[in-house]
Amino acid sequence: MYLRKRDDGWWRLNGLLDPEFGARVNALFDTWGQRRPIDEDGNRDPRTPGERHGDALFDAIHYAMTNDKAPTLSGDRTTVVVTIPLATLTSGLGSACVDGVTQITARHARMLACDARIIPAILGSESEPLDIGRAARSVTPVQRRALNLRDHGCAFPGCHRRPKHCEAHHILPWGQLGDTDLDNLCLLCRYHHMVIHGQSGWKVQITNGRPEFIPPQYLDPLQTPRRNHR
């Protein structure tokens, strides 16, 4: 198995799997890479088979890295450091740097900041470190269990992804000092986490202790809040 970073920041993965390992990976793609059910608006899963397999591999790696029995490196779990200027994190415009080598968009960095395994390194105007990981803003194991019980998986309407495939999302963004409590958190699978942090127009709010999603006007002119009725 070989992993090589390209000049454009993407990574190329090449490898040869023995029959047993290949069968296991194929089974993972078949189960975790299935098409998502048609949503409430009749839209089909837009991902290609390759994109679905890539998301399945991401889910498997994310699950392994966040497992309580995950191996450590020098006493710490596998960690990614995202370096970004404070103004860029707040505005969502510009780019950030992952582990000092790879450029990503500020929007992607804001999504990563929701995850407990990401350490944001915030820089001031003179590149001085302002904050290296705010532990109080990471979702605690107790909060994660409460989210699992409340949301039962991805809270996005119509999604069936289970809690182990989900990330904790800050409704008021981390970069805007959003609190890490149940009234500002919900579970989202990676796909819908990217939807919420993208330019889709979807908004999230907590009503009576449950997450609700407000669709963009082009989907629903009345923007009636929706819930996942799992």
Smallest CA-to-CA distance from 146 within 85, 62, 212, 210 is with 210
Residue 29 has pLDDT above 50, yes or no: yes
143 falls in which pLDDT band (50, 70, 90)?
A: confident
The pLDDT score that the predictor gives to residue 224 is 94
Any bridge partners for residue 3, and if so which? 13
Residue 135 has pLDDT above 50, yes or no: no
Residue identified by tokens 């992952």 is: 98
Residue 124 has pLDDT above 70, yes or no: no
Residues in the chain: 230
CA distance 154 to 229: 11
Cα torsion 4, 66, 80, 22 to 10°: value is 0
Task: Name the residue type at position 93.
Answer: L
Work out the average pLDDT over 108-135: 58
Work out the average pLDDT over 125-134: 55
What is the sign of the dihedral through the CA atoms of 117, 114, 85 and 196? positive
The pLDDT score that the predictor gives to residue 164 is 83
Residue 197 has pLDDT above 70, yes or no: yes
User: Percent of the chain beyond pLDDT 70?
Assistant: 68
Give kind and range of the element (H or E) at residue 57: helix 49-65
* Residue 177, both tokens: 């000092």
Indicate the domain borders of the chain.
1-72, 79-138, 139-214
Q: Which residues in 115-223 belong to E strands, given as ranges? A: 118-123, 129-132, 166-170, 185-189, 203-207, 210-214
Could you report the per-residue pLDDT of 155-189, keeping only the tens digit for each?
A: 999 898 888 888 889 898 766 767 778 899 999 99
The pLDDT score that the predictor gives to residue 215 is 93
Buried b (16+ CB within 10 A) or exposed e, 55-92: bbbebeebeeebeeeeeeeeeeeeeeebbbbeebbbee
Which comes out higher in pLDDT, residue 151 or 93? 151
The pLDDT score that the predictor gives to residue 77 is 44
CA distance 113 to 81: 10
Average pLDDT, rounded, for the chain:
79
Lowest mean pLDDT among 122-126, 160-164, 165-169, 216-220: 122-126
The pLDDT score that the predictor gives to residue 81 is 63
Contacting residues for 210 by C-beta, under 8 A, at least 6 apart: 150, 227
